[in-house]
Structure 1
């Protein structure tokens, strides 16, 4: 028997099993997998690079003068709102990527591995937080170039972005759950748009709700996106927004508890 044959026989007959990876190690591996996917398919970053730029330029210079009388004044108002809208919109891609894995059969392979089950989802969601941070950085950098000046300074911007990332992470669990349940990627995209478009446009993203009809104000005032926009806007400009901030924290924790639990249930029982 040659040395190569002996080495091969020893490899396949070894009785000692590899040590089970820790939860952190497993989650990190799946996070790295998601990063590699971005590396080899960089077009995935289109939504976090070009999309924020187009929205900010379009709304600032098309509607700024008509709404506020000055594009500079409107930029200070609308940038936090478009920041929230942009990041909220791209949270759907977590569910879309998971749905693709299910359709290709990769999902079943992951579930058969002897690892911490939530690692598949936690790893992907962690990388999505990086995508949200990239979108936020691009948006704020462009805002500074155009003349945006946060009254609370850089510290206020950091706190506003941190709160937005926390909310976006919690919102992603909704699309992750739907990504497991819904059969096709197109159906999931349609469902997410049906939910996100009314929530983002019927909010305080673009205009002050006090200018709206009373019947519409009632919906806008209880819209979760409105709470997030007002909280982020308050942190960035240094206004009193403690009530909105606490409401966003409560909403985010509730989303994680409810949809995180449902996601894990469907994840374990997916046929």
Structure 2
């Protein structure tokens, strides 16, 4: 007589605790960061474009806008920090779209991990890379003549505020990356949003020179408040009010775009 034995197996649960989700996010963020070891030029790419823009805006437009390149450098560098950080969120969107089209997320989906981990891991990794770009751009700006007129705490506060706000706004790029059919369309859609968003703000020029209808938008534009707060932290000026508005916008971006991105990931991955 043979006795049949049955081994009870427990199906893996889809629910993951918050601590495990954070650990998985950190692991996937490290996955993105460790790729720099095999492609160190990625860090150089983070600096080439912002440095080129800094040189072009300072020495081509600076004299016409502010009367001298030195004055414009003091005004524009904080805004270029914001612009560069927002434009780099395009890389987040392109990277996500590439992972999806290559089937990387299909493998991640088979693992018992939090649904948000692949998305938040990519966002966190790219945010860390932005800290490198921030330091590089400020350092190069100081070589050109930019001077921090506050303190080291002001610089650290500017970096922290920039990271928090851009981290929140990255969810909009994540959604674009998940919805677009291929990386080329990601760049087209995201660039079409980021370009007018940054140039119709106080990042590079004083909005008081805008027509009335455009100035009204600039006063609402989250990039304006972020640029003003960063400028205040680096060279002096009002900080609290624009920083609070920028943080409020950040909360709105997370509330609106993060759930949409997770839903799109579930349907696309």
TM-score (norm 1): 0.88
Q: Separation in 1 of the partners of 2:142 and 2:264?
A: 44
Residues 119 and 144 of structure 1, relative CA distance in 2, 3 Å threshold: same
Any runs of at least 4 consecutive aligned residues in structure 1 with deviations exceeding 3 A, and if so which? 15-18
Residue in 2 aligned with 1:64? 62
- SS of the equivalent of 2:205 reads coil
Report the CA distance between 1:16 and its aligned residue: 11
Candidates 27, 50, 53, aligned match of 1:52: 50
Q: Separation in 2 of the partners of 1:26 and 1:219?
A: 40
For the aligned residues, what is the CA RMSD? 2.3
| Counterpart mapping for 1:80-119 below 5 A | 80-119=78-117
Q: Separation in 2 of the partners of 1:77 and 1:135?
A: 19
Residue in 2 aligned with 1:154? 152
Q: Separation in 2 of the partners of 1:29 and 1:161?
A: 24
- SS of the equivalent of 1:188 reads helix
Residue in 2 aligned with 1:201? 199
Residue in 2 aligned with 1:228? 226
**Per-residue Cα deviation, 1:20-43 (whole angstroms, up to 9, x for no partner):** 993233222211210122222233
Residues 215 and 22 of structure 1, relative CA distance in 2, 3 Å threshold: closer
Higher mean displacement: 42-51 or 136-145 = 42-51
Partners of 2:176 and 2:190 within 8 A in 1? no
Matched, 1:257 2:266: no
Residues 199 and 101 of structure 1, relative CA distance in 2, 3 Å threshold: same
**Per-residue Cα deviation, 1:98-156 (whole angstroms, up to 9, x for no partner):** 11111111111111111222221222111111111011101110111111112212221
Q: What stretches of structure 1 of length at least 5 have no aligned partner?
A: 1-14
Residue in 2 aligned with 1:8? none
Q: Separation in 1 of the partners of 2:241 and 2:153?
A: 19
| Counterpart mapping for 1:8-47 below 5 A | 22-47=20-45
Partners of 1:173 and 1:260 within 8 A in 2? yes
**Per-residue Cα deviation, 1:59-109 (whole angstroms, up to 9, x for no partner):** 111121222122111111110011111111001111111111111111111
Q: What stretches of structure 2 of length at least 5 have no aligned partner?
A: 1-8
**Per-residue Cα deviation, 1:136-189 (whole angstroms, up to 9, x for no partner):** 101110111111112212221211121111111011111111212211111111
Partners of 1:157 and 1:235 within 8 A in 2? yes
Residue in 2 aligned with 1:127? 125
Q: Separation in 2 of the partners of 1:255 and 1:233?
A: 22
Partners of 1:47 and 1:90 within 8 A in 2? no
